[in-house]
């Protein structure tokens, strides 16, 4: 390809990131709005400094008999090279510091959520009164226009929690809890990512974030609090038996059944989620079957073993059982 084709491709690739579900420059939250505003002021300031310094450099390289005196050279260096950039950068620094308190956590929140980054998925717990929590995985739903406090940690290695459309990123560090307050300002579906390299499948550690009206959110959360629904067909029933017989319940919980493992994601309502395997696959029957049979091929080094040795019919039944857990 010719050089300008490569440039065009790079530009298109960059612009592709500016729209949609995962862009800090298309804010849908108060924190992201501050960051986007600061970015544009920074970019403007940088452009101003670049233009002035380049203008002076250009002027200095032209033949200006009157500019050749040592006094004007000193003025150019002190004025254009030091005073002007220092003034602009100091202004930007003060402006940036002024935006910071808004990003800090505070007490005045409508909802508290604990998120734990684990290799390579997200454990999500909605805290309710009296220390109770509703646990789910890889999906976060939020009511629009309300402040939500996140408590972020990790049991294994350092991860970083980032939903670019809603706010800044915060590291998840083993042995420590970090706080982040997000305030979504419009409804929609957004994407979160792990922003700290955390091992082989770091790039496959994604998060679906849905911002919804308060009443829809309340309905959804009430559904999440319910135990799993019973199998509604013989196929799903066979799937549940296979799920329990193969020991899946040692790692996974399905509330209301014998499966009460706490190692892997809670699967009580896994069939109602928008994605599977932390944003890696769609949440349909085929994907469930593919995932159970080939975990390591889809997500290298994942802790869940592949069950490809099971008969096709059993895998299919399990896939129907799990995708039926709405």
Q: Please say which residue, 32 or 195, places its beta carbon nearer to ligand CUA.
A: 195
Q: How far is the CB of 144 from ligand CUA (least distance, A)?
A: 27
In this complex, which beta carbon is closest to ligand CUA, that of residue 170 or of residue 317? 170
Query: Which spans of this chain sit near ligand CUA (rule: CB under 6 A)?
Result: 117, 120, 159, 194, 196-198, 202, 205
Closest CA to 29 of 190, 172, 161, 153: 190
What token pair was written down for 113? 């959520």
**3-state class (DSSP) for residue 305:** coil
CA distances from 315 to 2, 257, 271, 293 (A): 50, 19, 15, 7
Residues 6 or more apart whose CB falls under 8 angstroms from that of 122 comprise: 115, 116, 137, 138, 140, 192, 205, 207, 278
Q: How far is the CB of 282 from ligand CUA (least distance, A)?
A: 21
Minimum CB separation of residue 195 from ligand CUA in Å reads 7
Nearest approach, Cβ of residue 159 and ligand CUA (Å):
3
Minimum distance from CB of 119 to ligand CUA (Å)? 7
CA 30 vs. chain centroid, Å, equals: 16
Cβ distance to ligand CUA smaller for residue 196 or 266: 196
Which is closer to ligand CUA, CB of 35 or CB of 194? 194
Decide whether 40 or 197 has the Cβ nearer to ligand CUA: 197
36 burial via Cβ count (<10 Å: 0-12, 13-18, 19+): middle
Is residue 306 within 8 Å of 321, Cβ to Cβ? no
3-state helix, strand, coil in the chain (%, to 5): 45, 20, 35
Question: For ligand CUA, which is the closer residue by CB, 36 or 158?
Answer: 158
In angstroms, give the least distance from the CB of 18 to ligand CUA.
23
Closer to ligand CUA at the Cβ: 205 or 211?
A: 205
Cβ at position 103, least distance to ligand CUA in Å: 22
Backbone angles phi, psi at 115, to 5 degrees: -125, 130
Instruction: Please report the DSSP string for 99-166 in residue order.
Output: HGGGGS--S--SEEEEEEEETTEEEEEEE-GGG-EEEEESEEEEETT--EEEEEEBSSS-EEEE-TTT
Residue whose C-alpha is closest to residue 105's, from 94, 113, 96: 113
């Amino acid at each position: 390809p010719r050089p300008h084709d490569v440039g065009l491709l790079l530009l298109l690739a960059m612009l592709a990131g500016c729209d949609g579900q995962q862009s800090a420059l298309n804010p849908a939250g108060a924190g992201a709005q501050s960051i986007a505003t600061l970015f544009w002021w920074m970019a403007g300031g940088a452009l101003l400094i670049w233009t002035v310094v380049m203008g002076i450099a250009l002027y200095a390289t032209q033949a200006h008999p009157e500019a050749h005196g040592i006094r004007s050279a000193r003025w150019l260096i002190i004025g254009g090279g030091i005073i002007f950039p220092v003034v602009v950068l100091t202004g930007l620094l003060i402006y940036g510091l002024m935006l910071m308190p808004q990003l800090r956590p505070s007490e005045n929140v409508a909802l508290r959520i604990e998120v734990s980054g684990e290799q390579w998925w997200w454990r999500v717990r909605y805290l309710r009164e009296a220390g109770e929590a509703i646990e789910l995985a890889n999906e976060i739903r939020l009511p629009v226009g309300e402040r939500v406090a996140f408590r972020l940690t990790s049991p294994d290695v350092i991860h970083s929690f980032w939903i670019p459309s809603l706010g800044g990123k915060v590291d998840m560090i083993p042995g420590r809890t970090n706080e982040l307050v997000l305030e979504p300002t419009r409804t929609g579906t957004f994407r979160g990512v792990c922003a700290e390299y955390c091992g082989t499948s770091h790039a496959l550690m994604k998060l679906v974030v849905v911002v919804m009206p308060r009443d829809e959110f309340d309905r959804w959360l009430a559904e999440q609090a319910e135990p799993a629904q019973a199998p509604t067909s013989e196929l799903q029933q066979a799937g549940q038996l296979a799920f329990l017989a193969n020991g899946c319940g040692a790692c996974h919980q399905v509330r209301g059944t014998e499966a009460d493992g706490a190692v892997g994601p809670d699967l009580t309502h896994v069939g109602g989620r928008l994605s599977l395997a932390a944003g890696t696959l769609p949440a349909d029957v085929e994907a469930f079957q593919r995932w159970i049979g080939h975990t390591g091929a889809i997500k290298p080094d994942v802790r869940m073993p592949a069950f490809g040795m099971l008969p096709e019919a059993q895998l299919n039944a399990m896939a129907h059982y799990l995708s039926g857990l709405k």
